[in-house]
Structure 1
Amino acid sequence: MNDRKPEAIPSASWVTFCMTTYKRPDFLREQLNNILKQTFGDFSIIISDNDVEGSAKRIVEEIDDPRIFYYVNESNLGMVKSFNRSLFKAMSEYVVMITDDDPVYPEMLTVLYDLTKKYPGYGAYFGGCDIRCINPEVARSSRLRVGTNSCLANLPIGTVRTYTGKEFTDAYFNGSLGCHILWSTGIVKRELAFKIGGMPDFGAPYNTDFGYIVLSGAQNGLVLLNTSLGCQVVHGANYGYTEADFEKFYITPSGFQSWIFERLPDECKSSNLKRNVETFLGRWVVEYAVSVKRYAKDKKIPTSGLDFWINKIFQISYLRKWRYKYYIALNFPRLLKLLIIIKNSLRKDAQI
């Protein structure tokens, strides 16, 4: 079960869960036991352990399932490179990128397998997701409730939407999807995941899941089911508070944008794409900065280092206007909510 060669992984496996871990045995144990509850059993799990001492080995041996393949990295590669290490060992038809702490629901693979039969020929198949906040601090910082929060589109549950590569790229960045997509609640053709280079590696871990999803869907289209197939768990360990974390936050907008535009198929590059991507990144910067600031305030964690990089990020030309939205969102969240309602109402009136 441990340190098997890639060629030993069953090529007949329909899908592979690709995972990285680092010194989180309790998370890993729970996640592996969760995945093994899948009602569709034709899968493998590949774990890339960033702990050179192989601390996750005992968990893998404890569970002792032949579908689990475990590899210890020669050094701590960081999250992105370790994820890609597990991905490029996969030999299945499809792959799932998954963390060691975001569970998928038992019926996920069964549902996605059925989608591939009903809608053949697409490169990626995804379901919706939930966000689970485990305590009041993280719920408040994310403006959510403690417990499970649905991230589905405002459509009947079970609605299926199909997209060409261009349609999905446009919908993802212009916000018309109306839902949050989690990379672990979908399957991507392995050769397409390889083609796009796996998880985007632009020097920061932020938004790499977003980049992977949009590039996967852009290659050969995507099928999206409005049913929750898993959830993202938000807890204190989701936040980083070192100077390196803050600097990586700063380089994310430029790194993400360059990575996406260099790898998107030409037919997906519409005339308004750059503007939509910049708006997408502006919203992300505000939401992430506000959530970290709120969480740090609740935990009484100093944020002077973060403040420096937040000020610096708002000096980027297309992000300057977002400084005011950040200030309002941080200090007057109810006012921001009211302004958004008014803006949406005016937009609807203009369309009548």
Structure 2
Amino acid sequence: MPFVSFCISTYKRPQILLTQLQLLSRQTYTDFEVVVSDNDPEQSGKTIIKSLNDQRFKYYSNEINLGMIKSFNKSIERSNTPYIIMITDDDPLNVSFLEEMVPLINQYPDKSVYGGFIRKRGDVDKIEEIDSLHFPSEVLHPKKNPSIFWSNCILRKADVIKIGYIPDYGSPHLADHALLALTGSVNGGIIRNKIYSSHNLHENNYSKGNFDSYYNGCVGFYNLLSQYFKERGEFIHIQHVIHLHLEQWFISMSFSLRKYFYKQKNRNKLQEIDNFSKQILTLNFMKRSRAKYQIKKIIFNIKVQLGLL
């Protein structure tokens, strides 16, 4: 049995999938499998897996489009290893990731998460051991941890199952962040101050469409984490961090989309961004972000007028 599984969901992006699998095949630590759950009823990913002729790559057709989260959870169910890595079909991962992270599992056994993050404090490659009470706050706090990539993390599969798999609240937005926070709340985690992945920006990114899912993601994330940590009697430790995390996510996402569609000269998309941003700011737990949002919008409009975008 392999030691770790890369768990992937894909949908009608065979060439993007091929590029990702070719990159994963170059991992310098080789004791792994790749589990691909294909949401395409026409099984467009099947020929890609066959063409690679690598026994570590395992293909499963969902037969129908289950949606992103359910498909990812299927890939977890289909994995045959004690540890898993959630990864999209389009975000590249450094080929040394497993070689550098797997030894931490042997050095610090029984943790729930072993992840690479860019920490705002500490030397590059510094190792931190964080207990279960503080791990969610350490990971979600934007002033300590400015970006999150779940593909940078090895998760103990038993603990992912314990928290109920990837949360499905009707939107994939922030579900990866919630997964890491909840899984780390079981037995804590190990953080290495190093990043191994990045977002691959292209026309087919989910984030560039499906704008209605941003509101649902914001609400779902807040309600899920609030209820979970209240039941554990730990909400007081993380309430402020949840607000900070949502604010940073919302403002960063809103204005990166604005910048992209302004350059595309797509007025309809810009109006849609305005609409869902206003809707999110009507939420009680997001009201404190209104002033910062308005300031950012003024700055954005000034840059537009000055031709600085």
State the TM-score, normalized to the length of structure 2.
Answer: 0.90
Q: Gaps spanning 5+ residues in structure 1: where?
A: 1-11, 129-150, 336-352
C-alpha separation in 1, matches of 2:115 and 2:208: 32
**Residue 126 of structure 2 is aligned to residue 159 of structure 1:** yes
Q: CA 1:155–1:34 in 2, change beyond 3 Å: closer, same or farther?
A: same
C-alpha separation in 2, matches of 1:103 and 1:223: 22
Give how far 1:260 is off.
2.1
Give how far 1:206 is off.
0.6
Percent of aligned positions that are identical: 29
The answer to whether the 8 Å contact 2:140/2:177 transfers is: no
The answer to whether the 8 Å contact 1:290/1:326 transfers is: no
Q: CA 1:26–1:282 in 2, change beyond 3 Å: closer, same or farther?
A: same
The answer to whether the 8 Å contact 1:35/1:104 transfers is: yes
Which residue number in structure 1 is paired with residue 24 of structure 2? 35
Q: Deviation string for 1:114-138 (max 9, x for gaps)?
A: 111222221111113xxxxxxxxxx
SS for the counterpart of 1:320 is helix
Which residue number in structure 2 is paired with residue 298 of structure 1? 263
Which residue number in structure 1 is paired with residue 100 of structure 2? 111
Q: CA 1:268–1:126 in 2, change beyond 3 Å: closer, same or farther?
A: farther
Give, as a single letter, the amino acid of the residue that structure 2 aligns with 1:258.
N
C-alpha separation in 1, matches of 2:77 and 2:233: 26
Give how far 1:152 is off.
4.9
Which residue number in structure 2 is paired with residue 187 of structure 1? 154
C-alpha separation in 1, matches of 2:32 and 2:262: 43
Alignment of 1:321-340 (within 5 A): 321-332=288-299
Q: CA 1:272–1:157 in 2, change beyond 3 Å: closer, same or farther?
A: closer
Alignment of 1:120-159 (within 5 A): 120-128=109-117, 151-159=118-126
The answer to whether the 8 Å contact 1:168/1:217 transfers is: yes
**Residue 239 of structure 2 is aligned to residue 274 of structure 1:** yes
The answer to whether the 8 Å contact 2:119/2:144 transfers is: no
Specify which of 68, 80, 89 is matched with residue 69 of structure 2: 80
Give, as a single letter, the amino acid of the residue that structure 1 aligns with 2:123.
P
Q: Deviation string for 1:11-35 (max 9, x for gaps)?
A: x110000000111111111110111
Which residue number in structure 2 is paired with residue 206 of structure 1? 173
Give how far 1:181 is off.
2.9
Which residue number in structure 2 is paired with residue 234 of structure 1? 201
**Residue 242 of structure 2 is aligned to residue 253 of structure 1:** no
The answer to whether the 8 Å contact 1:94/1:189 transfers is: yes
What is the root-mean-square deviation of aligned Cα atoms in Å?
Answer: 2.2
The answer to whether the 8 Å contact 1:16/1:45 transfers is: yes
Which residue number in structure 2 is paired with residue 216 of structure 1? 183
C-alpha separation in 2, matches of 1:180 and 1:308: 26
The answer to whether the 8 Å contact 2:171/2:214 transfers is: yes
Give, as a single letter, the amino acid of the residue that structure 2 aligns with 1:225.
R
**Residue 59 of structure 2 is aligned to residue 70 of structure 1:** yes
Which residue number in structure 2 is paired with residue 344 of structure 1? none
The answer to whether the 8 Å contact 1:239/1:292 transfers is: no
Give, as a single letter, the amino acid of the residue that structure 2 aligns with 1:192.
D
Give, as a single letter, the amino acid of the residue that structure 2 aligns with 1:275.
H
Give, as a single letter, the amino acid of the residue that structure 2 aligns with 1:124.
V
Give how far 1:167 is off.
1.2
Give how far 1:98 is off.
0.4
SS for the counterpart of 1:321 is helix
C-alpha separation in 1, matches of 2:100 and 2:135: 21
Give, as a single letter, the amino acid of the residue that structure 2 aligns with 1:321.
R
Q: CA 1:287–1:268 in 2, change beyond 3 Å: closer, same or farther?
A: farther
C-alpha separation in 1, matches of 2:104 and 2:230: 25
